[in-house]
């Protein structure tokens, strides 16, 4: 028999998720209201199992690559994710917004774009902008480096 859900009121939990309450807010509120410890990952899993819209912003124009496991938390990729969230209309917290602004200013002032090579140790590199570069990244020439068609749909849920 599966363990009993920690969720005390499913309608309330779903409403909070649909209202866009942050997972951190939900963790804190659940601890205060019900004295039940949860985690941000718990709420992400709950939302997924309840068939609620994903919070991930997938912008395959900004992040078209298949990302190797060891590169998933590279700072350049984190900034590209922040940019994708901002472009999708999500409000970044002050720290994220400040870091993103600084990172984009650096790219612009130094005329750089982000290039990804999964075969290298570092993975992500800032390289000189070329005429073909139209955004913050260099789109790879090799289609094998791109995400598969099924995951390349732009979704800002």
Q: How many domains does the chain have?
A: 2
Confidence at residue 4, expressed as pLDDT on a 0 to 100 scale: 80
Is residue 5 included in any domain, yes or no?
no
Of 61, 93, 97, 66, the residue nearest 79 (C-alpha): 97
- Per-residue pLDDT for 156 more than 90? no
Is residue 27 included in any domain, yes or no?
yes
Whole-structure pTM over 0.75, yes or no? no
Confidence at residue 37, expressed as pLDDT on a 0 to 100 scale: 95
Contact present, 14 and 50 (Cβ < 8 Å): yes
Tell me the pLDDT band of 36, cut-offs 50, 70 and 90. Answer: very high
Confidence at residue 55, expressed as pLDDT on a 0 to 100 scale: 66
Is residue 3 included in any domain, yes or no?
no
Q: Are 30 and 80 contained in the same domain?
A: no
User: Per-residue b/e over 90-109, b at no fewer than 16 CB within 10 Å?
Assistant: eeeeeebeebbeebeeebee
Q: Are 68 and 20 contained in the same domain?
A: no
Which residue range(s) make up the domain with 151? 57-156
Going by their DSSP bridges, the two strands 112-116 and 57-58 should be labelled as unpaired
Place of tokens 């990729």: 77
* Mean pLDDT on 113-135: 96
- Per-residue pLDDT for 157 more than 60? no
């Amino acid at each position: 028999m599966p363990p009993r859900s920690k969720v005390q009121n499913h309608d309330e939990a779903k409403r909070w998720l649909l209202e866009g309450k942050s997972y951190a807010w939900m963790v804190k509120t659940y601890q205060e209201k019900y004295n039940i410890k949860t985690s941000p990952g718990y709420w992400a899993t709950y939302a997924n199992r309840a068939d609620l819209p994903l919070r991930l912003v997938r912008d395959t124009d900004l992040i078209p690559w298949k990302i190797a496991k060891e590169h998933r938390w590279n700072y350049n990729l984190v900034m590209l994710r922040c940019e994708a969230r901002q472009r999708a209309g999500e409000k970044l917290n002050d720290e994220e917004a400040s870091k993103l602004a600084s990172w984009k200013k650096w790219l612009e002032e130094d005329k750089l774009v982000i290039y990804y090579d999964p075969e290298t140790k570092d993975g992500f590199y800032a390289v000189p902008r070329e005429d073909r570069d139209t955004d913050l990244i260099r789109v790879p020439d090799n289609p094998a480096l791109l995400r598969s068609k099924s995951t390349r749909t732009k979704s800002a849920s």
